[in-house]
Structure 1
C-alpha cells in the first residue's frame, strides 16, 4: 500500500477559487491521502463532501464585493484590499500547521503570502494552484496588472505592499526584506486549471508549471436539470457569482430570446430570485443555482461574464462562448476566447439583449468555431485534470523526502 500523505489546502473563499480544487481534493482522498482545507464556513460542507477536513479562517476573510464595472485602477485597488485581508489570516494558519504539520501546502494563488510563510516555517514544499491564466510571479514588474503595462503604477503597488510583506515575514521569523523574497521559493511547482493551449505565451512557462485544464467534479447522483422534450437548441446564460448584479442584462436577454428558436436556461448565482425576471415564456427557465455541466452537456452555446470557471466548463464540453465581461480579469479571458476563435466577446458598450442573441446565433452556426472547439476539448482531455494536479502534489512530497 502507498504511504498516506498529509496535504493542507489553503482556498480563497469564492466559487471560482474553491470549485476547481474540489475534484483535486476528491482525487487525493480517493488515493488514501489525508486532506485538510482552510476555507470559509459557507464552503465547508462542499470541502467536507469532497473528502477534506475543513479548517475555518480565523479571522474570517471578507466577502468579495461585486466586481462588475471595475476599471483597471479599481481592480488593482480591490486586489490590494484582498491581499491585505488575506495576510491577517496568516498567524492562525501557521499555528494550525505547526500543531499538526502537513507534508505539503497546496495553496490558491490569492493566498500565496500566508502559504509561503507556512511552508518556510515548517520546511515543507508548497504547490501553487492558479484558477485562471498565469500572468507573472507576484511582485515582479507588471505582476499586479490587467491591461496596458504601467511600470510606475506597478512600482507604487510594490511599495505599498512591501511594508506589509516585510512585517508579515519578519513577524514569523522568515526573511522578507527584499522584493526577491516575496516571489516563489526555488523549485516551487505551479498547477494552473487551464490547458496549456489556452495560456497566453505558454512557451514562457517551463517544467515547474503544469497546465491541467479544468477539474470538473463527476456527476453527483440524480441530475437536477433535464433538457427540454422538444428539439430546441439549448443556451446557458449565467453571469457567475462575482459580477452578476446586472438584472437589466438578464431581463434584456429574456426579451431578445422570447421569440427565438432557443431554449434558454438562466442561472442567477444567488444574486436575484428568479421571480425578479418577471413572467417567462415557456422556452426560458430561470434558476438561482444549477450545476452547469448538466446543462452544457446538451447546450449549443453559452453566455457568460467570462470568469475562467465558466469559460473552462464551456470549453470542456466544446460549447462556444459569448462573453459579456464587466471587469478587467474577465475582459482578458474574453479576449483570449476571441483570439483563439472559440466564441465571441462583446465590450460593455456593445452589450444588449439583441447583440447577445446575434452573437449566439453566429457562433452556434459556425463550422470553423466548432472545429476549433473540438480541438480544444481534445487538448483539455489530454491535460489530465484532477488526476494530473494530484500527481503534482504527491510528487513534490516524494521529491522532498529524497
Structure 2
C-alpha cells in the first residue's frame, strides 16, 4: 500500500505491522486474539510516530485521523500532542441506543456486559498510555464517544441510525478507482454474474469456497471467486469453464455487472455490493460477520445462511431466490440511492477539511 499512499502526495511513515504474522483462524474464533492484535498494532504505530516526531518536531500534526481498529493509537497520540481527533468507523457505530459489541457477543442490540478478558485489555491500555506519558482512564480511552466520527455506511444501513447525533457523519463507503487491482469485464455470453468472496479471515475456512464452487458448477451462471492470500486454487478442484478464480481483482468492477454477491458479510464488501444495488447471500465466517448478516436480512437486501449447515443445494436455492425476488432487488436499488446521497469520498474529505479549518480558527 505504501506506493498508493505516496501517489496522493501524502508523507509516508512506515512501520512493521503486527498483522503480517497474525493467525487468521485464531482471529475467527477468539475475540480476545482480535482485540489483542489491534492493541499490539496501536503500540507499533505509536512507537513509530514517536521516533518520527522526535526527529521532525516541525511535522507536529494539527489533527489526528484514526481508524476504529487502532483507536488506542489515535486517542493516545491526540492526547499526547494536545490536538483534536476524528475517528473513521468502517463498521456499525455505537451509542447509548445501539451497541455493536453487544450485537456481536449477545446476538442482539443490548450490551451483555463486558467479557472477562476486558480487564486484561484495560490494564494493557493503561500501560500503553503511560508509556507515552498519557494519564487517562483506560475505559475512557477505549469506549469514549469521539466528538467527530466519519462512518463508512449510509445512515439507513446503521441500526438505530436515527439516534446518532451530530458527532456522527454517515458518509457511506469511500470508493474510488482500484488501479492497483485488475479490472473485470464479463464475457459476451449473457450469463448472470455472481461474485464469491469471503475475506481474508476466511482463509481458515477453505471449505466455504469449495462448497460455493460446487454450487455454481450446477448453475448456468458466470462466477468470479476471489481467494485470500495463502489459499491454493487447487484446493477448489476441477472448475467449470464458467467459474473464474482470481487472486487480485477489483470487486467493484465485478459487482457492477453482478446479479448476486455471495459473501461472508464484511461491511466493506457489503457496501461495495450495495453501491451497485447488488443484493447478497451472506455466509458469515465470524461473530462480527453475523451482525451484518442479520442487518442484510432485516432490511430485505438478501439472505443469510448458516455456514455450518451450508451445502451446495442450499446455496443454489438461496442464490436463485434472491436473484428472482423483485422486492429484494428494489430494496437493494433503494440502498444504492442512499449510498449515493451519503456523499462518500468527497463529503468525507470536505468534513475533514472543515475540521482543519475549525482548528486553524481556534489557534488564530
Give the TM-score normalised by structure 2: 0.88
| Residue number in structure 1 paired with 2:36 | 80
CA positional deviation for 1:45: 2.7
| Residue number in structure 1 paired with 2:10 | 52
Q: Is the 8 A contact 1:195 1:383 kept in 2?
A: yes
Change (3 A) 1:272 1:164: closer
Q: Which runs of 5+ in 2 are unaligned?
A: none
| Residue number in structure 2 paired with 1:171 | 131
Question: Structure 2: how far apart are the matches of 1:130 and 1:48?
Answer: 23
CA positional deviation for 1:163: 2.0
SS at the partner of 1:55? Answer: coil
| Residue number in structure 1 paired with 2:301 | 342
Question: Structure 1: how far apart are the matches of 2:99 and 2:333?
Answer: 37
Q: Deviation per CA, 1:303-354: give whole Å up to 9, x if none.
A: 0111111111101011111011111111111111111000101012321222
SS at the partner of 1:56? Answer: coil
1:236 counterpart = 2:195: yes
Question: Structure 1: how far apart are the matches of 2:99 and 2:331?
Answer: 34
Q: Is the 8 A contact 1:192 1:212 kept in 2?
A: yes
| Residue number in structure 1 paired with 2:286 | 327
Q: Deviation per CA, 1:128-163: give whole Å up to 9, x if none.
A: 0111111359xx998586131565544x44421222
| Count of aligned pairs | 354
Change (3 A) 1:184 1:397: farther
Q: Is the 8 A contact 1:252 1:352 kept in 2?
A: yes
Alignment of 1:388-399 (within 5 A): 388-399=347-358
Q: Which runs of 5+ in 1 are unaligned?
A: 1-42
Question: Structure 2: how far apart are the matches of 1:263 and 1:141?
Answer: 39
| Residue number in structure 1 paired with 2:263 | 304
CA positional deviation for 1:380: 0.2
| Residue number in structure 1 paired with 2:47 | 91
| Residue number in structure 2 paired with 1:204 | 163
Q: Deviation per CA, 1:143-202: give whole Å up to 9, x if none.
A: 586131565544x444212222222223323221463355447x6311111111111111
CA positional deviation for 1:223: 6.1
1:365 pairs, out of 315, 324, 331, with: 324
Question: Structure 2: how far apart are the matches of 1:165 and 1:108?
Answer: 17
1:356 pairs, out of 287, 299, 315, with: 315
Change (3 A) 1:269 1:52: farther
Change (3 A) 1:68 1:330: farther
Question: Structure 1: how far apart are the matches of 2:156 and 2:291?
Answer: 15
Question: Structure 2: how far apart are the matches of 1:368 and 1:142?
Answer: 28
- More off after superposition, 210-219 vs 320-329: 210-219
Question: Structure 2: how far apart are the matches of 1:280 and 1:46?
Answer: 34
Question: Structure 1: how far apart are the matches of 2:20 and 2:297?
Answer: 33
CA positional deviation for 1:363: 0.5
Q: Is the 8 A contact 1:189 1:208 kept in 2?
A: yes
Question: Structure 2: how far apart are the matches of 1:298 and 1:223?
Answer: 15
Question: Structure 1: how far apart are the matches of 2:64 and 2:302?
Answer: 37
| Residue number in structure 2 paired with 1:261 | 220
Alignment of 1:146-295 (within 5 A): 146-148=104-106, 151=112, 153-154=114-115, 156-177=116-137, 179-180=139-140, 182-184=142-144, 188-218=147-177, 220=179, 224-295=183-254
Question: Structure 2: how far apart are the matches of 1:346 and 1:390?
Answer: 37
Structure number having the greater helix percentage: 2
Q: How large is the RMSD of aligned CA atoms in angstroms?
A: 2.7
Change (3 A) 1:326 1:121: same
Alignment of 1:62-73 (within 5 A): 62-67=20-25, 70-71=28-29
Q: Deviation per CA, 1:229-268: give whole Å up to 9, x if none.
A: 1111011111112213433332222222223121111111
SS at the partner of 2:223? Answer: strand
CA positional deviation for 1:384: 0.5
